[in-house]
């Protein structure tokens, strides 16, 4: 059941009526509905919540991107009386980690998908996506297939292109759902990690599943020390044949790994 944006300004979709509460946070250019497949698989035994992150999907836009503010907005959806299993991918993984570090009483367990608590400097690929999306002449667009063709040179991977085009909405004309101006302007922050703004010595001591795509460079041995520092009870699982979008590229394996962690 889809819900309008709450006091936090975040749009959510609920699936399932009983069991542990499991919450999914998507990555950059994503939407809560990206998790629909696994959400439906879990809904028989869990109460699932798919959340549109700030400046994405149907959630409210903000004046600037700030990881701590985003984490606190997500935390407003939860209660210490009903702690959640929190799953986050990429940008959403960083937000989920910060929810756990800042509000540990709200998070019963944490699953971090193909991201590490570090600052990344390889954001040029995402800058190219944003530029290509902004360059699209929406007023001249008649059908979605034309947008797909127009993005083909800048985004040659059809899987990535299809993922980006999920953000193209038609309602009294075409428009992009994400706040592209803000995301492009604050891309360096999106790649960062606000270590200097966290409590010294802060840790999240609950169980943490750290999922990596075998072909991705967002989770490497070089980042293990940082993960151990913040999340001492983490366990890394690498999924073969997957890149950064692990849950889309290997959905069956990903789903089984998450289900085992929830059990």
Which residues are known catalytic residues? 90, 181, 244
If you ran DSSP here, which 8-state letter would residue 60 be given?
P
| DSSP H or E run through 151 | helix 144-151
CA 64 remoteness from chain centre: 18
3-state secondary structure of 5: coil
| DSSP H or E run through 249 | helix 246-249
Rounded Cα–Cα distance for residues 224 and 119 (Å): 13
If you ran DSSP here, which 8-state letter would residue 201 be given?
T
If you ran DSSP here, which 8-state letter would residue 140 be given?
G
Count CB-CB contacts under 10 A for residue 203.
Answer: 15
Torsion of CA 231, 236, 238, 244, to 10 degrees: 0
Residue showing tokens 């072909």: 215
Exposure letters 122-139 (e unless 16+ CB within 10 A, then b): ebeebeebbebbeebeee
What is the longest distance spanned by two Cα atoms in the chain? 54
């Amino acid at each position: 059941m889809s819900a309008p944006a709450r006091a936090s300004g975040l749009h959510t979709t609920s699936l399932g009526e009983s069991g542990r509460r499991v919450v999914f946070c998507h990555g950059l250019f994503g939407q809560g509905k990206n998790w629909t497949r696994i959400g439906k698989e879990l809904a028989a035994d869990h109460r699932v919540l798919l959340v549109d992150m700030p400046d994405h999907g149907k959630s409210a836009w903000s004046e600037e991107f700030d990881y701590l503010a985003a984490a606190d907005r997500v935390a407003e959806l939860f209660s210490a009386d009903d702690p959640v299993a929190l799953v986050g991918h990429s940008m959403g993984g960083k937000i989920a980690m910060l929810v756990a570090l800042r509000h540990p009483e709200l998070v019963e367990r944490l699953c971090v998908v193909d991201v590490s608590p570090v600052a990344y400097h390889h954001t040029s690929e995402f800058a190219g996506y944003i530029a290509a999306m902004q360059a699209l002449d929406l007023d001249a667009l008649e059908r979605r297939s034309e947008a797909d063709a127009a993005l083909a040179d800048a985004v040659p991977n059809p899987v990535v292109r299809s993922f980006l085009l999920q953000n193209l909405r038609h309602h009294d004309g075409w428009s992009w759902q994400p706040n592209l101006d803000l995301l492009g302007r604050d891309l360096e922050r999106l790649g960062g990690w606000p270590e200097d703004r966290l409590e010294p010595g802060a840790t999240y001591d609950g169980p943490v599943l750290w999922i990596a795509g075998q072909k991705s460079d967002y989770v490497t041995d070089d980042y293990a020390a940082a993960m151990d520092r913040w999340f001492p009870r983490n366990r890394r699982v690498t999924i073969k044949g997957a890149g950064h979008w692990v849950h889309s590229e290997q959905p069956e394996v990903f789903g089984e790994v998450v289900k085992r962690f929830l059990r």
